[in-house]
Structure 1
Amino acid sequence: MNYKTYNAEDFLFDESFRQWTSGSSPQAAVFWEQWLLENPDRADIVRQAQELVRALNEHYGNEVTEERINSEIDRLMQRAAERRDTESEATVIRLPQPPLLQRKLWRWVAAASVVVSVGLAIWLYGFFMNQRHRQTTYADLTKASGVRLQEKVNNTAQIMNVVLNDGSVVTLQPKSRLSYPSQFEARSRTVYLNGEAFFDVVKNPAKPFLIYANQTVTQVLGTSFLVRAYDNEQNVVVTVRTGRVSVYKQQDFEKAQQLGSQKILGVILMPNQQMTLNLDNNRLQKQSVEQPRALQPEMVKQEQVYEDAPVAKVFENIERAYGVKLLYTKEDLSACLVNITFSNESLLERLEVICQTIGATYEVQDGQIVINSKGCQ
């Protein structure tokens, strides 16, 4: 986890940091004491974060949760916002006694004074709003990587191909940049992206391929997929062409690594599926791509003729050609026979023709295609 980029509030949300501060985990104590020895420049930030944790422990005892942490910080920001809105014409304001956590925060910036200027109150509101929505940028990630990286920047109007030392190929779009080591580490292959790139990754089950990009971590063993993740955009999109890809929020991925957990909350993508992370609401959404591409083009380019063919057989051929999953009840469709000829139709056009023929409908749900049918007579 890139703790070098953390501020005091970030540490609040780290469970092992809270365990260390409260003295409830010897394992966490070993880790954090060693980390402080290696990062003495972060001692002040750590001390401030510890004061916040102790204040929360005093206030809530053993009931400290992320929800309550958010509640306390929200209350502080609301207090500053109210002062900004209601007393913007005053030259000075007098601070009442805030809740325990707020007293700690105000003490840092007001040096135990009970009188601060309106400008400082407004600044506090802006500061904490910025911290709440603070993102780990591409520059933060590469700086904290801990290994020597080389960078490719595409400042041209054409795509740029980058060949990595394992043989994987990255097709970098204009206005995009990629950082990577000249030689990958023994246990993983990690790169950093700002922008848009198509990855064709050489398969290596013993060495997962990791792409860090704008609050997300995409993990693969060997596949081809597209990642779009610009620092100045609010959506991160991962689209899979072949193989299988796992996408995680960066915070969840790094926390699981630190705790040694194999269970990480994320999204698994199959061919012709994509994931979108909205950085405003921090939600992952899986869906099918608008225009699915055939994994076996030869199956869809040549003419396909079905005469009195069971519709389930047609669906199986479509699944194999496009790598998609069609959800339907075989028993309901067992009596459905179709006479259809396909040539250059797209996936959705083929489904439309089949559904019209058997009196069914289809819909896309969570990256899968559901066939709704009452069967055939």
Structure 2
Amino acid sequence: MSMQEYRDMEPEELALDSSFQRWQLSHDPTANSLWEAWLAQNPDKTELVDKAASLLISLHTTYSEHIAERVPISEHEVQEEISRLHMALEDREVPIIAVSWFRSWPVRYGVAASVLVLLGLFGWSQLRPSANKTPETYTELVALAPEPLSEISNSSDKPLQVNLPDKSTITLYPKSRVSYDKQFAGTRREIYLSGKGFFEVVKNPAKPFYVYANGLVTKVLGTSFTVQAYEGAKQMKVVVRTGKVAVFTQKQVAEQPRKETYKLDGIVLTPNQQIVFSTEKTQIKKSLVDNPVLLEQAPQKQLFTFKRTPIADVFATLEQSYGVPIAFDKDLMRACYLTASFTDEPLFEKLDLICRTINATYKQVDGTIQISSNGC
């Protein structure tokens, strides 16, 4: 088909075109160049392209939400989905005017007509993403990416290592997928994730690293952390192993598109801290991980031995070893000392023993440990 013929198409016909589908769904470089050139030559057809893209992406999103493996819909499946709509319309009652109009179309336009009937009945506004809705899902964000992206899916039952252009790596867990620019050509290193991935990021302050994951955004300069954000899940999670990250929601990005240092507004996480984002309540809760681990650079990795050691020094050692802030009243506990020896006990077990010894208690508050005591 010549490119000139596309000018006379309706949006639903254009959505059926394989070249158009490769451009919108697969970000195929050849199709991308072809259609960008066509749009440059036919600027009056921008609305046509927008409507066709809205229909195609809406079908893609709807279809993807109903398959267990969470993998992208293929071009063939898009064709079948539109055909399914056609068959469904033939089996159900629709207004007489729509039926007579539908049957007046030539046979070769039957599938396109079925979609147009749907659009006539329900309106473009129900298929096109709302102007006030912030794109959040993996499908929406990938579709809006300014550059063609490379996608990797893990359909196996084992973790898959993904090597990024800057030598950072992702351990991609089963039923997960990522998309990214093969060259990291822009001013940011941007990754789109659906599922679960463990990131080990090479430090580059000049080019910050962002992970977009179904409504959550994680920004980092160089660290290791895990993001868990499956499509449709009620909870998303970010867990930091080393370094520091800032986490915020996709809506914050939309509200402050020109602000570069999101960490001023986001939730800052350090090692052994995590956030859990409830999609139902739209709440973010910061806490410690269930079992904090020793940092790689911890001064005492195997043995914690204290002999009448001031409690302030004991807590400082734990902070340095686990990276977990510990708050306590230094003046009130100035006379507290500890004589004890620990080896591989978990952090919380160490704290239990220490607090029993000095007659104190502790609790977790926003990813920190708070010690309560009446003094010694």
TM-score range, shorter chain: 0.5 to 0.7
**CA displacement at 1:296 relative to structure 2:** 3.4
Look up the match of 1:370: 370
AA paired with 2:136?
T
2:162 & 2:355 partners in 1: Cα distance? 44
AA paired with 1:241?
R
The size of the alignment, in residue pairs, is 262
Aligned: 1:218 with 2:218: yes
**CA displacement at 1:185 relative to structure 2:** 2.5
- After TM superposition, the structure 1 = structure 2 runs for residues 107-186 of structure 1, keeping only pairs within 5 Å, are 136-186=136-186
Look up the match of 1:358: 358
1:219 is paired with a residue whose SS is strand
**CA displacement at 1:163 relative to structure 2:** 1.0
Look up the match of 2:312: 312
**Where in structure 1 are there 5+ consecutive unaligned residues?**
1-35, 45-119
Deviations 1:253-301 (A, max 9, x none): 1321247786863211111111111111211111111111111376554
- Residues 190 and 211 of structure 1 are in contact (CA less than 8 Å); yes or no, is this contact kept in structure 2? yes
- After TM superposition, the structure 1 = structure 2 runs for residues 1-377 of structure 1, keeping only pairs within 5 Å, are 40-41=47-48, 136-258=136-258, 265-296=265-296, 299=299, 301-376=301-376
Q: 1:286 to 1:38 in 2, by over 3 A?
A: farther
- Residues 256 and 264 of structure 1 are in contact (CA less than 8 Å); yes or no, is this contact kept in structure 2? no
Q: 1:213 to 1:190 in 2, by over 3 A?
A: same
**CA displacement at 1:225 relative to structure 2:** 0.4
Look up the match of 1:33: none
**Where in structure 2 are there 5+ consecutive unaligned residues?**
1-42, 52-120
2:286 & 2:309 partners in 1: Cα distance? 33
**CA displacement at 1:311 relative to structure 2:** 1.1
Q: 1:227 to 1:263 in 2, by over 3 A?
A: closer
AA paired with 1:318?
L
Deviations 1:331-369 (A, max 9, x none): 111111111000111111111111001000000001111
- Residues 298 and 322 of structure 2 are in contact (CA less than 8 Å); yes or no, is this contact kept in structure 1? no
2:259 & 2:150 partners in 1: Cα distance? 30
Look up the match of 1:116: none
1:257 is paired with a residue whose SS is coil
2:299 & 2:260 partners in 1: Cα distance? 44
- Residues 246 and 263 of structure 2 are in contact (CA less than 8 Å); yes or no, is this contact kept in structure 1? no
CA-based RMSD: 2.9
> Identity rate of aligned residues, in percent?
39
Q: 1:41 to 1:190 in 2, by over 3 A?
A: farther
Q: 1:325 to 1:370 in 2, by over 3 A?
A: same
2:243 & 2:46 partners in 1: Cα distance? 40
Q: 1:211 to 1:351 in 2, by over 3 A?
A: same
1:239 & 1:262 partners in 2: Cα distance? 18
Deviations 1:37-56 (A, max 9, x none): 99645888xxxxxxxxxxxx
1:232 is paired with a residue whose SS is coil
1:261 & 1:160 partners in 2: Cα distance? 32
TM-score, normalised relative to structure 2: 0.64
